[in-house]
Structure 1
Amino acid sequence: MPVWLEIIVRTLSAAFVLFLMTRILGKRQLSQLTFFEYVTGITIGDLAAFLSINHDQDWYIALVAIVTWFFVSLGIEFLQMKSKKSRDVIDSKGTVLIKDGKVLEDNLKKEKLTNEELMEQLRRKSIFKVSQVEYAVIEPDGQVNALLKDQYQPITLAQLGIKMPTEAEPQTVILDGKMMDEPLATSGFSRQWLNTELEKQGVSLENVYLGQVDGYGQLYVDLYDDKIKIPQPQEKPLLLATLKKCQADLEIFALSTENETNKQIYTTCSEQLQHVIDDTRRVLIQQ
């Protein structure tokens, strides 16, 4: 076999073996590399490169080394899943860096982290004042997570006493100009409904690169041609305007009638409708 052909075969084989091992080891290898996983990745990659280009050596030698590293990594992952002590030894524990707005210098030195690096990590989380931090910890993967003091945390709807309905997961119903039947059915809509919505927006199915339906049944489309401007749906703003008009009409009726019973009915209905408007305003103004 010619040398160039042997190298191609070895490279393709190494790529296939690496892909297969990565799939078995799981996505954690890609998203959150621990120190050992980092070393394992470099070592296996180096062995795969050796397998690809060193045609003078027997191919199975490098393959045996790769498989050995693979089973070592697999075994360590198994230990981590079964034993907390193993996780603490292999991945280490999180270390507190800030407590009650004060930097713990000894822990900072223990993690070989400078104060500039700590401030950089905090700024990435939009935190610019150490005094605002209640608690900060460096995780085993090197990320710094911080909890702000209560007075500096952003206000939530729960704190304001506003209850919002749970929004269903958006479904991608169009990909590359083709309808996706399963997500469409999950959203509770049909092909006919989707075609009607596309007609309302003045676009054809073939021109749609991506189409999504949100939890409120509103269709968003992204076209291949980004220069084309799509008019925003007006159903929600029109519904909000209609509710406001009805509430205003009820107030006018209450002011214009001289019958106290009717006045009370109009006033009560107006107040109830105002509560409905307040509860649904945030949903109806979303685009």
Structure 2
Amino acid sequence: MPVWLEVIVRTLAAVLILFVITRLLGKRQISQLSFFEYITGITIGSITAYISLDINNDWYLGIIAVSVWFIVSLGIEYLQLKSKKARDLIDSSSTVLIKDGKILEDNLKKERLSNEDLMEQLRKKSIFKVAEVEFAVIEPDGQINTLLKNEYQPLTPSQLGIKVAPEPEPQTVIIDGNIMDEPLATLGLNRHWLNTELEKLGVSLDNVNLGQVDAYGQFYADLYDDQLIVPQPQEKPVLLAQLKKCEADLEMFALSSEQEAAKKLYGDCSARLQQVIDQVKPILTQ
């Protein structure tokens, strides 16, 4: 076999082996590398490169080495799942870097971090004052997580005593000018509805780069031609305006009526409709 052909065959085999091992070891190998997984990734990559290019040695020796590393990695992962002591020994444990707005210098030195490194990580989380941080910890994968003090945390509906209904995720119904039927069916919609929405916006399907429908049936389109301005959907503002007009009419009827029973009826209806408007206004104005 010619050398160039042997290199091609070895490279394809190395790619296949690396792909299979990566899939078997799980997605965590990609997203959150621990210390041991980092070493494993480098070593297996080096061995597969050896399988691909070192034609002076038998290729099966590289496969044996990769298999050993694969088995060891699986054994280590299994041990970590079963034993906390093993997890702490192999991956180490989390380290507190900031407590009550004060930097713990000894822990910072232990993790080989400088104040500049810490501030850089805080700025990535839009935190510019250490005094605002209640608690900051560096995880085994090197990620720094923070908890702001109560007075610096953003308000949430629960803190205001407001109950918010869960909102389903938006569905992408157009990608690269092609209609996605499955997301449309998930929303209970069809192509006829989508074509109608495109006509309302005055755009053609082949000019849509990305199209999404939110949980309230609002359609949004991103066009290939960025110079074109897509009109914003008006259903929500129109509905809010109609509700306000109805409430104003009821209030006017209550003020103009001379009959006490009618005045009270219109007034009660106006107050109830105002309550409805207050509840749906955050949804209709977003």
Which amino acid in 1 is paired with 2:242?
Answer: T
1:11 aligned partner:
11
Distance 1:226 1:19 in 2: 39
Residue-by-residue CA offset, 1:28-76 (whole Å, 9 max, x unaligned): 1111111111111111111111111111111111121112111211221
1:38 aligned partner:
38
2:50 aligned partner:
50
1:142 aligned partner:
142
What SS is found at the alignment partner of 2:174?
strand
Residue-by-residue CA offset, 1:242-263 (whole Å, 9 max, x unaligned): 1111111112112212222222
Residue 28 in 1 paired to residue 28 in 2? yes
Distance apart, 1:106 and its partner CA: 1.8
> Which residues of structure 1 form unaligned runs of 5+?
none
Distance 1:176 1:107 in 2: 50
Distance 1:236 1:172 in 2: 20
Distance 1:82 1:216 in 2: 45
Distance apart, 1:149 and its partner CA: 1.0
2:242 aligned partner:
242
Any residues of structure 2 matched to 1:115-264 within 5 Å, and which? 115-264=115-264
1:85 aligned partner:
85
Distance 1:265 1:90 in 2: 72
Residue-by-residue CA offset, 1:207-260 (whole Å, 9 max, x unaligned): 333222211111222233333322111111100111111111112112212222
1:279 aligned partner:
279
Distance 1:9 1:229 in 2: 52
Distance apart, 1:145 and its partner CA: 0.8
Which amino acid in 1 is paired with 2:38?
Answer: Y
Which amino acid in 2 is paired with 1:128?
Answer: F
What fraction of aligned residue pairs are identical, expressed as a percent? 68
Distance 1:181 1:43 in 2: 44
The answer to which of 115-124 and 172-181 deviates more is 172-181
Distance 2:195 2:120 in 1: 50
2:59 aligned partner:
59
1:102 aligned partner:
102
Distance 1:223 1:45 in 2: 41
Which amino acid in 1 is paired with 2:73?
Answer: S
Which amino acid in 2 is paired with 1:245?
Answer: K
What SS is found at the alignment partner of 1:137?
strand
Distance 1:241 1:231 in 2: 18
What SS is found at the alignment partner of 1:211?
strand
Which amino acid in 2 is paired with 1:152?
Answer: Y
| TM-score, length basis structure 1 | 0.94
Distance apart, 1:180 and its partner CA: 2.1
Distance apart, 1:101 and its partner CA: 1.4
Which amino acid in 1 is paired with 2:162?
Answer: I
What SS is found at the alignment partner of 2:109?
helix
Distance 2:72 2:225 in 1: 50
Residues matched between the structures, number? 286
What SS is found at the alignment partner of 1:231?
coil
1:72 aligned partner:
72
Distance 1:193 1:281 in 2: 26
The answer to which of 46-55 and 223-232 deviates more is 223-232
